[in-house]
Amino acid sequence: MTYPPRHPKPRLESLSDLIFGLALSIGTISLIARLPKGPAEIVFDIVQFGFSFVILISVWMWYTSIMSVLPVEDRTTTVLNLLMLFLVSIEPYLFYLNVTYDLTDHVLLLDAASIIYALDMAGLMAILALFTHQLTIEEKKLLPDDSLTRYKRMRTNFLISAVLFAVTILPVFWTLRIQDTPLRFFLWFAPFVVPLMTRVLRGE
């Protein structure tokens, strides 16, 4: 049985590469927008940028892997693509707000910015889950049988990640704190740590 070959989509891929590139550039600009007050702040700023960088690179790698197989042949898929690129483009701005506002002078603004950021990431994960689900529909024959399990696992991870990000907007995750930092911020690492730990435990 033959399967559709991976095929290029020059216009969509060019646009997505441009958006991801701009998002990464904006994140870099945010580093130089404020001068650090000491060596510790330099390290802290780089670590913060690294988190956003890992998010964008991870989403880009997942997205390109999925879209190299998934045909863009209907309006719904195209709209979801554009929506995802919009969510990607505003991620650096929302992330910058979260690392700029502080709990002392901007409590309400930081709370609002963190909620919107969590919803942005939940939307990204949900769209990736929808795209991956399209690949796992066996009737479409988009993937060889030996790849279905891996992509179904990816779909599940994306859905869990979307739910985790969405759940963090609940007030309880803002009220509960670890060393005066809302638990919401720590939970944002879970969608990226859990799949990695799962792969390690499976010996992949």
Highest-confidence segment of 17-26, 111-120, 151-160 = 111-120
Q: Is residue 173 part of a domain?
A: yes
Q: Is residue 4 part of a domain?
A: no
**pLDDT for position 172:** 95
What range does the domain containing 148 cover?
10-202
The count of structural domains within the chain is 1
Q: pLDDT per residue over 117-141, tens digit each?
A: 999 999 999 999 999 888 887 656 6
Q: Is residue 150 part of a domain?
A: yes
How far, in Å, are 19, 26, 86, 157, 178 from residue 99 at the CA level? 22, 14, 21, 27, 17
Q: What is the mean pLDDT of the chain?
A: 81
Identify the burial level of 102 via C-beta atoms within 10 angstroms of its C-beta, where 0-12 means exposed, 13-18 middle and 19 or more buried. exposed
Predicted confidence band of residue 196 (pLDDT cuts 50, 70, 90): low
| Kind and range of the H or E run holding 182 | strand 181-182
**pLDDT for position 3:** 47
Q: Is the dihedral of CA 41, 114, 66, 151 positive or negative?
A: positive
pTM for this entry? 0.82
Q: pLDDT per residue over 55-112, tens digit each?
A: 888 888 888 888 877 776 667 788 888 899 899 989 988 988 888 888 888 999 999 9
Q: Is residue 2 part of a domain?
A: no
Cα torsion for 168, 171, 173, 177, to the nearest 10°?
150
Q: Is residue 99 part of a domain?
A: yes
Instruction: Determine contact, residues 30/48, Cβ cutoff 8 Å.
Output: no
Q: Is the dihedral of CA 133, 139, 142, 143 positive or negative?
A: positive
Question: Rounded mean pLDDT of 194-202?
Answer: 63
Q: Three-state DSSP class for 37?
A: coil
